[in-house]
Chain A
Amino acid sequence: MSEQSTLPLTEVERLQALDAYGILDTSAEAGFDDIVLVAKALCHTPVSLVSLVDRNRQWFKARVGFDPSETPLSQSVCAHALRQDDILIIPDLSVDARTRENTLVTGAPHLRFYAGALLQTQEGAKLGTLCVIDTRSRPQGLTVEQADGLRALARQVMAQMELRRIIHQRDAAMVDRARAENVVRRDAERHRAMIGMQHGIGSAGDNLETMLDAIVTGAMNVVGNADGVVVELREGQDLVYRAVAGDLSPFLGLRLSMEGTLSGRCVREACALNTGDAENDPRVSPELARRLGIRSMTIAPIARHGSIVGVLKLQSSKPDAFTEADETIVQLLAGVVAAGLGNVAEAAVIQSLRASEETLRLAQEAGRVGTFETDVGRSVTKGSDQFWRLFGLEPRSETPTALLEALVHEDDRHLTTSEERRRAGLDATSIEYRIRRADTGQVRWLTRRADYVTDRWGHRRLIGTALDITERKTAEQEAWTAKEAAEEANRAKSDFMANMSHELRTPLSAIIGYSEMLQEEMAEGVPAADLEPDMRKIANNARHLLGLINDVLDLSKVESGRMEVFAETFDVALMIRDVAATVDGLIAKKGNALTLRLQKGLGSMRSDVAKVRQMLLNLLSNAAKFTEGGTVTLSATRIVGTGSDAWLVLRVEDTGIGMSEAHLERLFLRFTQADASTTRKFGGTGLGLALTKAFSTMLGGDVAVESRVGQGSAFTLMLPAEMPTPHQSLPNEIASVHDGDASHAD
Chain B
Amino acid sequence: MKILLVEDHEEIWDFLSRRLRRRGFEVAVAVDGREGLDAALAGPHDIILLDMNLPSLDGWTVASMLRAEARTASVPIIALTAHAMSGDKEKALEAGCTDYHSKPVGFTRLLAQIDALTAASPP
Chain A residues proximal to chain B, CB less than 8 Å:
30, 34, 37, 494, 497-498, 501-502, 505-506, 508-514, 516-517, 520, 534, 537, 541, 676-677, 680
Q: Is B27 interfacial (CB 8 A cutoff)? A: no
Measured CA separation A501–B53 after assembly (Å) = 14
Q: Which single member of B15, B19, B83, B85 contacts A510 (CB below 8 Å)?
A: B15
The stretch of B4-12, B36-44, B70-78, B112-120 that contacts the partner chain: B4-12
Q: Which single member of A30, A506, A513, A516 contacts B82 (CB below 8 Å)?
A: A506
Residue of chain A at shortest CB distance from B108: A516
Q: Which single member of A494, A509, A517, A520 contacts B104 (CB below 8 Å)?
A: A509
Which label, helix, strand, loop or mixed, suits the secondary structure of the B interface?
loop
Q: Are B55 and A677 in contact (CB under 8 A)?
A: yes
Beyond A516-B19, A517-B15, A517-B19, is A498–B105 a contact (Cβ under 8 Å)? no
Measured CA separation A506–B9 after assembly (Å) = 9
Q: Are B85 and A508 in contact (CB under 8 A)?
A: no
Kindly provide the distance from the CB of A461 to the nearest chain B CB, expressed in whole angstroms.
58
Residue of chain B at shortest CB distance from A30: B86
For B9, list chain A residues within 8 Å (CB).
506, 509-510, 680
Kindly provide the distance from the CB of A500 to the nearest chain B CB, expressed in whole angstroms.
11
A-B contact pairs, 6 of them (CB 8 A): A498-B85, A501-B84, A502-B53, A509-B105, A513-B19, A514-B15
Measured CA separation A514–B16 after assembly (Å) = 9
Q: Are A513 and B15 in contact (CB under 8 A)?
A: yes
Beyond A34-B84, A34-B85, A501-B84, is A506–B15 a contact (Cβ under 8 Å)? no
Q: Are B12 and A510 in contact (CB under 8 A)?
A: yes
Residue of chain A at shortest CB distance from B84: A501
Chain B residues proximal to chain A, CB less than 8 Å:
8-12, 15-16, 18-19, 22, 53, 55, 82-86, 102-105, 107
Residue of chain B at shortest CB distance from A28: B86
Q: Are B16 and A513 in contact (CB under 8 A)?
A: yes
For A30, list chain B residues within 8 Å (CB).
84-86
For A516, list chain B residues within 8 Å (CB).
19, 107
Residue of chain B at shortest CB distance from A34: B84
Beyond A37-B84, A502-B83, A508-B104, is A517–B8 a contact (Cβ under 8 Å)? no
Beyond A505-B103, A517-B19, A520-B22, is A510–B11 a contact (Cβ under 8 Å)? yes
Kindly provide the distance from the CB of B5 to the nearest chain A CB, expressed in whole angstroms.
12
Q: Which single member of A509, A517, A677 contacts B103 (CB below 8 Å)?
A: A509
Measured CA separation A327–B100 after assembly (Å) = 68
Beyond the given pairs A34-B85, A541-B11, 4 more chain A to chain B contacts, judged by CB atoms under 8 angstroms and listed by A's residue number, are A505-B103, A509-B104, A512-B105, A520-B22
Kindly provide the distance from the CB of B107 to the nearest chain A CB, expressed in whole angstroms.
6
Kindly provide the distance from the CB of B62 to the nearest chain A CB, expressed in whole angstroms.
16
Measured CA separation A516–B108 after assembly (Å) = 11
Measured CA separation A513–B101 after assembly (Å) = 14
